[in-house]
Structure 1
Amino acid sequence: MIRTALVTGLLGAALNVAAQAPHSFDPIAEVLQHPRCLNCHTFTEYPTQSRKMVDPISGEVSYLRFRHAQQVIRGEKGFGAPTLQCGACHQDENVADGKVPGAPHWHLAPLSMGWEGLNRGELCETLKDTDKNGGRDLAALVKHMEEDALVLWGWTPGGDRDTPPYAHADFIDLLKLWVAAGAPCPTN
């Protein structure tokens, strides 16, 4: 009886994961395509900044993205130019007045990790491509998104900055569900 219940429970969970698999990347894409992530996961030679805009009539949210106000550039390894490194302003934590955000090792993602303008299928494939994602397999990718201080900063950006659409713990659960489903990518 217990064994039957266990098998049925596991089978039910597996079928549930399989049924959700084709769409399991959608909420992950919502997070990764949020301006909080795209500001640094860009294909440009500079970081961007963004402002949340809410239509006063419809309530529809959109984001205005623009070049970093201080006109900094990517530099050789994504940490800024030799004369103006990202860490010159961005310290290990947010500045108390909320104007300058901070987290350890503040830098732009490598160009290979640019997500700006990708559709969900392209984003998914890029995320899984070890030649583009820093050599991370799926387990290392989950660990990176779960523990990296700069990733975690996205959910505690300080000031009046908007956060991604899911709580970090929920995002990690969604990421693990996607991995458990075989990390399927949308076909759009």
Structure 2
Amino acid sequence: MRNKIRAGLLAALIFAPAFALSPASHAQDRAPEAPAPSTPALPPVDRADEKSLKSVADFDDIADQKERSIAIFQETGKVLLHPRCVNCHPAGDRPLQGMDMHLHQPPVRRGDANFGEPGMMCNTCHGPANVPVVAQSENIQSIPGNPNWHLAPIEMAWQGRSLGDICRQIKDEDRNGGKTLAELVDHMADDDLVGWGWHPGKGREPVPGTQKQFGELYKAWAATGAHCPDS
């Protein structure tokens, strides 16, 4: 019954992942320090292989450790720059939606704690698990869900940034939630909300590979010096 009620509410709102209703007093959708919106950069990967992830062993033939570290991180870019991830790491105060990364509808905002604003917090529409939706458009076939569903803090914004910039940002403890490199590896490999990207619900394209593969790549990147691409 709870799922039916939630599905009905979302149908009325023309649902997609929600965070908080936008007060009329907000004049900007983006934080002042955020870069101008742009088409997200794509990592230098083989387009024919973009829906899978290479294994760590695929980089063993790169003798130079720094070059190998950079190549491994570029492979993780298939996940980091995918809309499933960037949509929740926007450059402004509104989440994005869809493979085209349009602004979230209904218009919602991050709120002071990144869980939405009073009256429509994230869990107003997002439950602990994905919920299939009946009689919706082909573009809205399920409601995303996770117990910790929220918008990434503005200092973790990825939208419009190059893979090299994201790499340096991820390593910066002032911009990654205070995580050490070891904690960052554990986060990428084991965090349940990160893992949602591989299980986004009906009607959504998952990020490439598996979370296990992604975690192994991150561990190998850290072990080879955690070097970043120049751009």
Q: Considering the TM-score relative to the shorter chain, is it more than 0.5?
A: yes
RMSD: 1.9
Q: CA deviation at 1:165?
A: 1.9
> For residue 22 of structure 1, what is the aligned residue in structure 2?
70
> For residue 176 of structure 2, what is the aligned residue in structure 1?
133
Q: What is the TM-score with the length of structure 2 in the denominator?
A: 0.67
Structure 1: segments with no counterpart, 5+ residues: 1-11, 52-63
> For residue 80 of structure 1, what is the aligned residue in structure 2?
116
> For residue 56 of structure 1, what is the aligned residue in structure 2?
none
Q: Distance in 2 between matches of 1:94 and 1:31?
A: 20
Find the structure with the greater CA-based Rg.
1
Do 1:155 and 1:167's aligned partners in 2 also have CA atoms closer than 8 Å? yes
CA-to-partner distance for each residue in 1:91-142, whole Å, 9 max, x for gaps? 1100133521101111000000001111111010000000000000111011
Ranges of 4+ aligned residues in structure 1 off by more than 6 Å: none
CA-to-partner distance for each residue in 1:18-42, whole Å, 9 max, x for gaps? 5522312101122111000000111
Q: How does 1:96-115 map to 2 (within 5 A)?
A: 96-97=132-133, 98-115=141-158
Q: Distance in 1 between matches of 2:107 and 2:67?
A: 47
Q: Distance in 1 between matches of 2:112 and 2:66?
A: 43
Q: How does 1:10-159 map to 2 (within 5 A)?
A: 15=63, 20-51=68-99, 64-97=100-133, 98-159=141-202
Q: What is the total number of aligned residue pairs between the two structures?
A: 165
Aligned CA distance change for structure 1 residues 123 and 19 (closer, same or farther; 3 Å):
closer
CA-to-partner distance for each residue in 1:55-76, whole Å, 9 max, x for gaps? xxxxxxxxx1111112111111
Identical columns (%) = 41
Q: Distance in 2 between matches of 1:168 and 1:29?
A: 13
Q: Which of the pair is proportionally richer in strand?
A: 1
Q: SS of the counterpart of 1:144?
A: helix
Q: SS of the counterpart of 1:171?
A: helix
Q: Which of the pair is proportionally richer in helix?
A: 1
Q: What is the TM-score with the length of structure 1 in the denominator?
A: 0.82
Q: Distance in 2 between matches of 1:34 and 1:18?
A: 25
